[in-house]
């Protein structure tokens, strides 16, 4: 087990009075890829929002390196080095591809990711750099969302269902780019509903069911039966 970079400790998360997460504990090691799987409504996005400060919690429920970040704001957490490719991409429609990418760099973290590095990873974005982000295909928009996150040079990158709504060939392209993205010692949490893909790309896997961790294990060691049971609860 590598040095722990993210430690989630008995996290409860709420939307007003509604409790969406119940005592969720999870660790991510330096350089590790962890996948989070679970059915619709299991709490995957809520977990991502709790780590990135879009939902706030008790300070000690989330630790990143030496910092207690559970109660910090999203902009503070981004500056510490956590970035997210959010569900639904959430690009700025009135801005160009390049302007959307530059927004990621405004966090002000130094590192190897720059416009040219993102364009080298996804050459099609260089061709479309001056186009409105809304004129791109779904897959290209997803590349912009990934590029924008990389532009903040994060130490931990969260992907929330990057394959949602994309054609299989595009999903394959994007997942083929991931090792280059993560290979530089970055850690990642990948939320994915496709169990096979989730197991393939990760070192360890967590299953969420109705706001609780129903299974955790090394990706090479957990059986399909155990995952199905933890996923569907049957």
What does the binding site for Mg ion look like in residue numbers (CB under 5 A)? 44-45, 87
One-letter-per-residue 3-state SS of 5-55: EEEEEEEEEEECCEEEEEEEEEEEECCCEEEEECCCCCCHHHHHHHHHCCC
Contacts of residue 198, defined as CB under 8 A and 6 or more positions apart, other chains included, come to 35, 36, 37, 190, 192, 205, 219
104 contact, one of Mg ion, ligand ATP, none, CB 5-8 Å limit per kind: none
- Cβ-based nearer residue to ligand ATP, 54 or 132: 54
Shortest reach from residue 202's CB to ligand ATP, in Å: 17
Q: Which listed residue (6, 11, 44, 148) binds ligand ATP by CB under 6 A?
A: 44
Shortest reach from residue 171's CB to ligand ATP, in Å: 16
Please report how the helices 168-182 and 138-150 are oriented relative to each other, as an axis angle in degrees rounded to 10: 10
Token pair of 73, please? 């704001």
Shortest reach from residue 141's CB to ligand ATP, in Å: 18
| Other CB atoms within 10 Å distance of the CB of residue 27 | 18
CA distance 162 to 64: 23
- Cβ-based nearer residue to ligand ATP, 105 or 209: 209
Shortest reach from residue 173's CB to ligand ATP, in Å: 22
Q: Which listed residue (5, 42, 188, 198) binds ligand ATP by CB under 6 A?
A: 42
| Residue count, binding to ligand ATP (CB under 6 A) | 12
Q: Is 89 in the site for ligand ATP (CB under 6 A)?
A: no
DSSP 83-101: EEE-TT----TTSBHHHHH
Considering only residues 46 through 65, tell me which ones interact with ligand ATP, judged by CB under 6 A.
46
Stretch that binds ligand ATP, among 2-10, 38-46, 76-84, 196-204 (CB under 6 A): 38-46
- Tell me phi and psi for residue 155, to 5 degrees: -90, -25
Residues forming the site for ligand ATP (CB under 6 A):
15, 18, 20, 38, 40-46, 87
């Amino acid at each position: 087990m590598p040095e722990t970079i993210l430690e989630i400790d008995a996290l409860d998360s709420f939307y007003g009075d509604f409790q969406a997460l119940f005592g969720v504990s999870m660790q991510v090691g330096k350089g590790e890829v962890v996948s989070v799987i679970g059915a619709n409504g299991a709490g995957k996005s809520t977990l991502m929002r709790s780590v990135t400060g879009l939902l706030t919690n008790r300070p000690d429920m989330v630790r990143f390196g030496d910092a207690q970040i559970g109660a910090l704001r999203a902009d503070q957490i981004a500056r510490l080095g956590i970035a997210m490719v959010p569900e639904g991409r959430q690009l700025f429609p009135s801005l160009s591809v390049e302007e959307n990418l530059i927004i990621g760099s405004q966090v002000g973290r130094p590192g190897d990711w720059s416009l040219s590095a993102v364009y080298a990873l996804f050459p099609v974005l260089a061709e479309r750099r001056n186009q409105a982000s809304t004129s791109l295909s779904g897959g290209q928009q997803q590349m912009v969302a990934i590029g924008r996150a990389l532009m903040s040079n994060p130490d931990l990158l969260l992907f929330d269902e990057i394959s949602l709504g994309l054609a299989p060939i595009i999903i394959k392209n994007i997942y083929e780019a991931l090792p280059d993205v993560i290979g530089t010692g970055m850690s990642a949490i990948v939320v994915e509903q496709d169990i096979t893909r989730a197991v393939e790309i990760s070192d360890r896997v967590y299953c969420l069911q109705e706001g609780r961790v129903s299974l955790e294990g090394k990706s090479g060691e957990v059986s399909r039966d155990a995952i199905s049971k933890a996923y569907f609860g049957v």
